[in-house]
Structure 1
Amino acid sequence: MMSGGACSLRACCLRRPYLPMEPLIHTCWLRVTDSRRRRPRLFSATRCFISGSDAKQKVIVISGPTGAGKSRLALELAKRLNGEIISADSVQVYRGLDVGSAKPSVSSRKEVPHHLIDILHPSEEYSVGQFFDDARQATKDILGSGRVPIVTGGTGLYLRWYMYGKPNVPKASQEITSQVYSELADLQERDDWEGAVQLVVKAGDPKAQSLAANDWYRLRRSLEILKSSGAPPSAFQIPYDSFRQKLDSSLEDSKPQVESSIVVEEIKSKDLDYDFLCYFLSTPRLDLYRSIDLRCEDMLLGNDGILTEAKWLLDSGLQPNSNSATRSIGYRQAMEYLLCCQEQGGMSSPDEFFAFLSNFQKASRNFAKRQMTWFRNEHVYQWLNASRPLETVVKFIYDAYHDKTRNLEVPESLKMKKEMRSRREASELKSYCTRNRHFGRREDCSDILERLRKMQ
């Protein structure tokens, strides 16, 4: 899709090859003596140095719904700002889950250093607390080398903890961890989720009933916290909640003419460890849904698509919806579809394939909707329109990073509305119908059905 002679951000991300352009800056290096190491260190001139004891180092955060073009924007910014990228994606941490997580290409990772990608086997769990520790350490390392941290991803809880801090919840001893595992192992083996939930509820955590079905990791963690502290997870202070309470109170007390963005910036500067520049990238919902549907189709093409990755998960002994990796959008649906095919000797009808594709697309759209709802309530993000030319979006964030006044407003042409703009848009969204590009007819899936038969 083209606009004014420049390709849009989302189109660049999904369909167009990247055309190299001259960087807006050229990195120069400053030699600074580090008194602790007693030897010179090199710092990039793109790093933000602000005089004063209250100065905080800048960190760029880019989020948005699935398929919005976050990775492309982060990559281009990293090249302009001498930056490194920290992935805030709960699926990209897993090795082998490349297509379904839209993982940055190997060439992109060679071009710009990426962190927290391919660090675990899919059989391993990865918690938001672990992400906080790993991402904060990566941030320190990047800043220490004189480069710019650019955190990008759509996992809202990861980003919330990363910016505001994690609760001071006690870490369970090895003895308690083993005890909890034993108590829940039989129930998990019998697939008795309700029984396991009631066990944890009786132990003292009534909120266990609100956990997502089969989220055994969080259920075990809840029981570990109960046994370690005698209190449920909800009893511990959440840094984000404190921030919101202070923000809401300040907004109520502020004068009518004071903009909420000014109040947010003031509290951010006092309460947060870094000077976070946060952006949420999206497009009008109808365009986003069409983009997501097409991307789901793309993930099924070729011999190395998401079905092949899902087959590898099954061959590794994993079952759908059994842990973090197999609960993720796309992999869960693909694994369930493959198990159905296995029961039929590797056979699948076109109707079964199209039902799987439809479920995959619907789950992806619903996930994007949940992401937008989550971030709509996050006051620190500026919403940007991903359908605008890539260069326009990059230049605005680049300028904002170097702006010392913090008064740089998002131009109207680049703003993305948080809510639907009109009744017409709401009506069109309600009547939305998927229009497939690759799989419009029954015969279009014949190659995939043949490949599935050979997989068995």
Structure 2
Amino acid sequence: MPGLIVICGATATGKSGLALDLAQRLGSPILSADSRQVYREFDIGTAKPTVADRLLVPHYLLDICDPRDNLTVADYQDRALKEIAEVQGLNQVPLLVGGTGLYLKAVVKGLKIPRVAPNPQLRSQLAALGQGQCYAMLQQVDPESTTRIHANDSVRTLRALEVFYVTGCPISQQQGENPPSYPILQIGLDCTEVQEGDRRILIRTQEMFDAGFVAEVESICEKYGTNLPLLHTLGYAEVKQYLAGEISREEAQELTALHTRQFAKRQRTWFRGDRTIEWFAVDQPDLLERVWHRVQGFLEQPKIASVSVTS
């Protein structure tokens, strides 16, 4: 059975470049695991693969949603598992590449996610009761969840109550894991020194602004309005401030780099919690060959079907 290769890590660690090289050697497609690359028109600010990259290697799970839509983790999981199965059906090993930890965990761990869409009206009614009363209600209908949800965590409390009132079943009974049966190799990329990661982020940010990031944000604002939720995300929010005259272009760029460094730190913390990830230092000159050697070892396992590769 063909397996799955995951390339993960914090932003600006070179995941896309490494994946592109591996995909060409394997003759395999790349599946994105980025929560913003799924949306059309959000290109430069999400470091979406270029047209040239997509001509070299087929890419999937990019541009699959309108910016006004809301792709849930459950939606992504369904789409990703379907794409993986189709690629494996061609006797190929897909590469799942990205830095959205929850997307990757949903696939790799087989998270059981309640298929309940957000219900703004119900949430509003519950929120009006106050967190104290909502948490007390949750203790009555789903005491198991309250052992994992803090009494002050209003977001998770409302979600748990929402799932219960929509389905009639506690969210704790609808969660868990059901990992895929095929073998999975998880490759994590990180910098040996924090300073190297910061340097890469500064370069990435400069390249984004040089590539027309401001014009991209301006176009999106004009088309969808400045209240589009995606415009409140990393990079887009800072440029939107600049376009509104609240800060200078230089400040927008500096804040984008700062907030990206903070985000990368949170990503590293998330991924380090998964001990099944095999880590490689991106600032080593032989990175590609070291990862390629590991991939070949993975492909030679008895459970992996024969795959045509080129050196």
The TM-score with structure 1 as length reference comes to: 0.57
Determine helix, strand or coil for the equivalent of 1:239. Answer: coil
Shift of 1:201: 5.1
Give the letter for the 1:307 counterpart. V
Give the letter for the 1:281 counterpart. L
Of the three residues 392, 395, 404, the one matched with 2:292 is: 395
Mapped partners of 2:165, 2:216: distance in 1: 38
Determine helix, strand or coil for the equivalent of 1:140. Answer: helix
Mapped partners of 1:313, 1:219: distance in 2: 33
Of the three residues 60, 69, 87, the one matched with 1:142 is: 87
Per-residue Cα deviation, 1:94-144 (whole angstroms, up to 9, x for no partner):
111111111111111121111100111111111111111111000010011
Q: Following superposition of structure 1 onto structure 2, how do residues 47-446 of structure 1 map, counting pairs within 5 Å?
A: 56-171=1-116, 180-183=119-122, 198=131, 204=138, 207=149, 209-210=152-153, 222=160, 224-230=162-168, 233-234=171-172, 236-239=174-177, 272-283=180-191, 284-302=193-211, 305-319=212-226, 323=229, 325-340=230-245, 352-389=248-285, 390-404=287-301
Mapped partners of 1:224, 1:107: distance in 2: 44
Mapped partners of 1:121, 1:328: distance in 2: 16
Determine helix, strand or coil for the equivalent of 1:277. Answer: strand
Shift of 1:203: 6.1
Mapped partners of 1:88, 1:73: distance in 2: 15
Per-residue Cα deviation, 1:71-106 (whole angstroms, up to 9, x for no partner):
111111111111111100001101111111111111
CA, structure 1 residues 358+234, in 2 after alignment: closer, same or farther (shift >3 Å)? farther
Determine helix, strand or coil for the equivalent of 1:134. Answer: helix
- Conserved? CA contact 2:2–2:91, under 8 Å: no
Shift of 1:292: 0.3
- Conserved? CA contact 1:91–1:328, under 8 Å: no
Mapped partners of 2:194, 2:176: distance in 1: 32
- Conserved? CA contact 1:58–1:275, under 8 Å: yes
CA, structure 1 residues 238+337, in 2 after alignment: closer, same or farther (shift >3 Å)? farther
Determine helix, strand or coil for the equivalent of 2:209. Answer: coil
- Conserved? CA contact 2:7–2:98, under 8 Å: yes
- Conserved? CA contact 1:197–1:219, under 8 Å: no
The alignment yields a C-alpha RMSD, in angstroms, of 3.0
Per-residue Cα deviation, 1:241-284 (whole angstroms, up to 9, x for no partner):
xxxxxxxxxxxxxxxxxxxxxxxxxxxxxx64220011101112
Mapped partners of 1:197, 1:141: distance in 2: 47
Single out whichever of 83-92 and 199-208 deviates more from structure 2. 199-208
Q: How many residues align?
A: 291
Shift of 1:295: 1.1
Determine helix, strand or coil for the equivalent of 1:309. Answer: helix
Per-residue Cα deviation, 1:27-60 (whole angstroms, up to 9, x for no partner):
xxxxxxxxxxxxxxxxxxxxxxxxxxxxx43110
Per-residue Cα deviation, 1:278-335 (whole angstroms, up to 9, x for no partner):
1101112110011102211221114xx2222222232233445x63x23431112222
* Alignment gaps of 5+ in structure 1: 1-55, 188-193, 213-217, 241-270, 342-347, 407-456
Shift of 1:202: 7.0
Single out whichever of 276-285 and 307-316 deviates more from structure 2. 307-316
Mapped partners of 2:30, 2:232: distance in 1: 25
Mapped partners of 1:168, 1:120: distance in 2: 20
CA, structure 1 residues 318+127, in 2 after alignment: closer, same or farther (shift >3 Å)? farther
- Asked which structure has the greater CA Rg, the reply is 1
Mapped partners of 1:167, 1:201: distance in 2: 23
Higher relative contact order (CA 8 A, sep 6+): 2
- Conserved? CA contact 1:86–1:149, under 8 Å: yes
CA, structure 1 residues 201+82, in 2 after alignment: closer, same or farther (shift >3 Å)? same
Mapped partners of 1:156, 1:306: distance in 2: 25
Single out whichever of 272-281 and 194-203 deviates more from structure 2. 194-203
Per-residue Cα deviation, 1:347-396 (whole angstroms, up to 9, x for no partner):
x6xxx333322221111001110111011110110000111235424432
Mapped partners of 2:165, 2:194: distance in 1: 44
- Conserved? CA contact 1:68–1:288, under 8 Å: yes
- Conserved? CA contact 1:184–1:196, under 8 Å: no
CA, structure 1 residues 229+142, in 2 after alignment: closer, same or farther (shift >3 Å)? same
